[in-house]
Amino acid sequence: MIVDDSGLLRRVVSRWIDAESDLEVVACHANGKQAVDDVAQSQPDVIILDIEMPVMDGLEALPLLKRACPNAQVLMVSTLTKRNAEISLKALELGAVECMPKPDRQSEIVGVPEFQRELLWKVKGIARWRARPAARPDGFAWRAYATRPPRAVVIGSSTGGPEALVRLLKGLAPSLSDVPVLIAQHMPPIFTAALAERLSRVAGVEAVEAQDGETLVGGRVYVAPGDGHMTIGHGAPPHIAIGNGPAVNYCRPSVDLLFDSAAKVFGGRALAIVLTGMGADGAEGASQIADAGGSVIAQDLGTSVVWGMPGAAVRAGACASVLPLDAIARTAAQLIAGKRPEGRA
């Protein structure tokens, strides 16, 4: 279902989706009220929902859509403004699973192939995991937990990540006085700044959008900017480096680059956490941390919106444990305190 007040966007996106053999448009609507009135009958798997619309906007429509069609997964689309970024994060709190920007001007919709590619990738990924969640692979090799407490926590997340980060950091906040946290969350520019603000406000941590060259400080949470790769630079003390190199795993920021730098700088004293998300970003970097003697924890299938990134880390044989979201904070806190956790799954 496509819900947007732009007739051009509805026509163009409908054409893109109908051209895919495994996708079908079941309905198009110009405002949230039309969508709410129809959703129980149309029963979409995925709803592409605009924020700014007449009659009923996307934020008002979202909980009504979820109530009328609980299994529908909602992808928020909006122009790239600070206000829309903040509204999108609120929408994720209310049950949307992903958000993405659309071109500022309607005339750019057809002429921006990146928008088409990202939209179709997200719709297919969300629909695939809704219909056929992958089973957790059996028989993978467990890695050992690190023998020394971590000096830094690095986290990778994507689809479903913002709300998972709030819950994780709420539980982990009391343990972070001496340990910095670095997050690579797949989000566009402006959205990552809004995410850092929300983590500070809701999770009770000091969170900032990372700046190139700043020194790592214990107790502070650094969110990678949405248009740059964040890595940890060598030096005394360690510092943040922000680069604008090509996307890795189709992503910028890249979890793999962050994890790989943590392995090089902190070795066995890095703790990596792989949260919900599509794709496989982070699996290679998690293996680097595990090979260096650090600890890797993956979110489990049951609590992940999409078990792509955590599942890839598991299949790579990088993980010391695969845990429900609320258990990850407890285990990470034990590791930070120098205790050896019990239980792996």
Catalytically annotated residues: 158, 186, 281
Tokens at 19, concatenated = 């051209």
Distance CA 336, CA 180 (A): 11
- Terminal CA-to-CA distance of the chain, rounded, Å? 37
Residue of 157, 152, 172, 142 whose CA lies nearest to 268: 152
Q: According to DSSP H, which parts of the chain are helical?
A: 7-18, 32-42, 58-68, 82-94, 113-131, 161-172, 191-198, 255-266, 283-291, 309-315, 325-336
Coil, strand or helix at 34: helix
Contacts of 108 by beta carbon, 8 Å cutoff, 6+ apart: none
d(CA 163, CA 182): 16
* 16 neighbors 24 (Cβ within 8 angstroms): no
Residue 125, C-beta contacts closer than 8 angstroms, at least 6 positions apart: 159, 278, 279, 306, 308
Give the DSSP letter string of 79-123: -S-HHHHHHHHHHHHHT--EEEE--SSGGGTTT-HHHHHHHHHHH
Identify the residue whose tokens are 């258990």.
Answer: 327
Structure tokens at 9: 């966007």
Contacts of 236 (CB under 8 A, 6+ apart): none
Distance, CA of 207 to CA of 183 (rounded, Å): 10
Note whether 326 and 152 are within 8 A (CB): no
